[in-house]
Structure 1
Amino acid sequence: MDNISLRPFVAEDAAWLVERHGTLYAEAEGFDTTFAPLVAEILDAFVAGHDPACERGWIAEHQGRRLGSIFCVRLDDGTAKLRLFLLAPEARGKGLGRRLLETCMDFARRAGYRDMQLWTHESHRAACALYAAAGWHLVDSKPVRSFGVDLIEQTWKITL
């Protein structure tokens, strides 16, 4: 899969992102139908009011086909939040996740953030390994019942 481009997220990508999150998480993790509406809510808020100077989303694309996403949003004046990091199964294991993560973190640094944080689940082992390799630290972990399944929720942070 050569020539994968990273382009800015546009509002027309939202329906695809909601569908992909809902479908992929249902297939891989057994998430119920409450997950996709959460993704839609996050994207609706981003489209309606993000500040492009300090908040941005990217879509990974190959020959017009979307393969993944990542977003940097403002948590507070000094902290960015990584959101909606997704890779289609056929795009995994090719370095694209690292490229998306580096793009997002580089943007956060340029936007003046001192720190970043993210929320994920322990079951996302490949993503968690990627975060650790990039210098992120697991700062909280707790069992929860979310999206119809039992999960271990995690919070990761990094100083930029």
Structure 2
Amino acid sequence: MNTVTSKIRSFNRFYTAHLDILSQHYLDSDYSLTEVRILYEISENKIITAQKLTEILNLDKGYVSRILKRFLKDDLIVKVSSSEDKRAFNIKLSDLGKELLSSLNAKVDEQIDHKIDKLNFFEKENLVNSMHAVKNLLSENKPLKSDITYRHEINPGDIGYIIYLHGFIYGNESNFSNEFEKYVIKTFYNFLENYSPEYDRIWMAEYNNKIVGCVAIQHQPENEAQLRWFLLDPSFRGLGIGKKLLTDAVDFCREKKFKNVFLLTTSMQDKALEMYKLAGFELNWSKEVQEWGKVFNEERYDLKLS
């Protein structure tokens, strides 16, 4: 069995057992989880058709029909004639249905609060972020540009996480050794030791309060600036994040009146090289090196600003 598949199945078994959703009667009610889920969808939509319920929940039409008949018998829902088609009916919760759902929601909240009560702030944050990641990775609706936020204030933990991202992404995509991460640590140490709020800046793109991209400008002698640590989580490529980060960095250099901005990179970073060239950077020199367990060309690109 595929390793990823087996791990997902293992998580599914843990999750269903942990939430106690295998019981025939959900939260000691007279209804199953599926039946309560249908009540929830009716409540969320205020008024809805049976056909729409089958589409939202991907359930058999006959199965949904039998559940709705039971709800009618138990006075949990009421049928309302459609204003568009007199032959069709919409469904909404009755007062009794609203009361039942409210009671079950309160029980769910209490159950979840009890399960996470022993977790500290960081563990709760990690749990929520992990669930959010699972939801987005398995959903057809991928992150949108509007979901991404940007900032340049450096918060505790930012630098360490960016170093981690460099080691993880370059280790997997470029197969760089651990020596690369050590190199990144040294460059950040230099950046922080000589940090000038006036002429140095690091921009971070975030999704769900998690850094997914970054770029920085570090001032250098003779009125030059160096563009550094341009990185983007592969899961977020194609949203224009890299372009915005790069544009903001170059605009900052123009604002601070640097005469030239340069960057050092490798011939292996194809996607980044394309963006550098589109932004106006030109190759200054290229030399073959053997470093971080690979053989490649180290390259310098410059963008003249004055």
Q: What band does the TM-score fall into relative to the shorter chain?
A: over 0.9
Kept in 2: contact 1:14–1:40 (CA 8 A): no
Deviation of 1:47 (Å): 2.4
Paired residue secondary structure (1:18): helix
Q: Name the SS of the counterpart of 2:164 in structure 1.
A: helix
CA contact (8 A) 1:98 1:130 kept: yes
Instruction: Say if 2:147 is the partner of 1:3.
Output: yes
Q: Aligned equivalents of 1:10 and 1:38: distance in 2? A: 22
Fraction of identical pairs, as percent = 28
Match of 2:157, SS?
A: helix
State the partner residue of 1:95. 240
Q: Which has the higher helix share?
A: 2
Q: Aligned equivalents of 2:240 and 2:220: distance in 1? A: 27
Aligned residues: 160
1:61 aligns with 2:218: no
Please, which runs of 5 or more residues in structure 2 have no aligned partner? 1-143
Matching residue of 1:47: 192
Superposed displacement of residue 11, structure 1:
4.5
Describe the SS at the equivalent of 2:178.
coil
Give the structure 1 partner of residue 279 of structure 2: 134
Residue of 224, 242, 245 corresponding to 1:79:
224
TM-score (norm 1): 0.94
The one of the two structures with greater contact order (alpha-carbon pairs below 8 A, sep at least 6) is 1
Aligned to 2:290: 145
8 Å CA contact 1:18, 1:37 repeated in 2: no
* Greater C-alpha radius of gyration: 2
- Any residues of structure 2 matched to 1:11-50 within 5 Å, and which? 11-50=156-195
**Unmatched segments (≥5 aa) in structure 1:** none
Distance 1:11 1:140 in 2: 37
SS at match of 1:105: helix
CA distance in 2, matches of 1:25, 1:76: 29
**Structure 2 equivalent of residue 122 of structure 1:** 267
Structure with bigger strand share is 1
Could you list the structure 1 runs, at least 4 aligned residues long, displaced by more than 3 angstroms after superposition: none
Question: Which residue number corresponds to residue 252 of structure 2?
Answer: 107
